[in-house]
Homo-oligomer: A and B are copies of this chain.
């Protein structure tokens, strides 16, 4: 069992009512017709939401996970009416990625969309894949790659140094590849999500709920995000509507990052009365 035991989207302030999440699919039906999409970590959380959205837009999806997740694949397929395949694969193990990619190619052909969403992401393959594997992967032309990193990938953050470093590596890998592989018909983009209440993220990062409360106070729109919101953005970025988007790093975080980073954010707690006193004092200051 997960979370606060409910589906309530907790919010910090009244402004959250101005920003209700839109949970339905935004793109025109059929946008992904005849497209094959490969989503790592596609069986849970954000990955499952993205798979469901792409699938409902017509894509044939392949989801990868360390576990056997055919049941999830079937469930999504039933909901959307399009085929969803499941492959077992550990993205930290180059041989396993290689095998999964081979199976994928045999079963459904080369993917048009690759979403690198598994928690570990896969940074290793680029350096450790066998020449053979690279060849298979580099055959994947005309594909749109998308990596899911995090808002602290650029700035870094206390307590998550290894994950921050790995995600930063993924980002620079993607921007490098965006510059290098445009000529093969490939695009690479990145979504940096702020906090979204998936079981995976919150049970591990915030078992007591302490952190959720803290975060809500620094999210400008006053609420957490939802998997469906990430899924709509991802569906746009991997679609042909975004064929001129490559090397982009897109923050989707309800304005959390800009609120955190701004030096004077702490002053949000200053009351109207305190502001009045401060203003009077400032006006009375003379000289430098």
Interface residues in A151-185 by Cβ distance below 8 A to B read 151-162, 164-185
Q: Is A7's beta carbon under 8 Å from chain B?
A: no
Q: Is A268's beta carbon under 8 Å from chain B?
A: yes
Number of interface residues of A (CB under 8 A): 120
Least Cβ–Cβ distance between A138 and chain B, in angstroms: 12
* Other 4 A-B pairs with CB < 8 A, given A176-B262, A179-B255: A158-B262, A168-B171, A221-B246, A229-B241
Interface of A toward B, CB cutoff 8 Å: 13, 15, 18-22, 26-28, 31, 41, 43-45, 123, 126-127, 141-142, 150-162, 164-185, 187, 194-195, 198-200, 203-204, 207-208, 210-211, 214-215, 218-223, 225-226, 229, 232-233, 236, 239-268, 270, 274, 277-278, 281-282, 285, 287-288
Q: What are 21 A-to-B residue pairs whose CB atoms are below 8 Å?
A: A15-B184, A15-B185, A22-B239, A22-B241, A43-B288, A152-B262, A155-B261, A156-B262, A157-B179, A157-B261, A158-B268, A160-B264, A164-B173, A178-B259, A204-B285, A208-B277, A210-B267, A210-B274, A223-B244, A246-B253, A246-B255
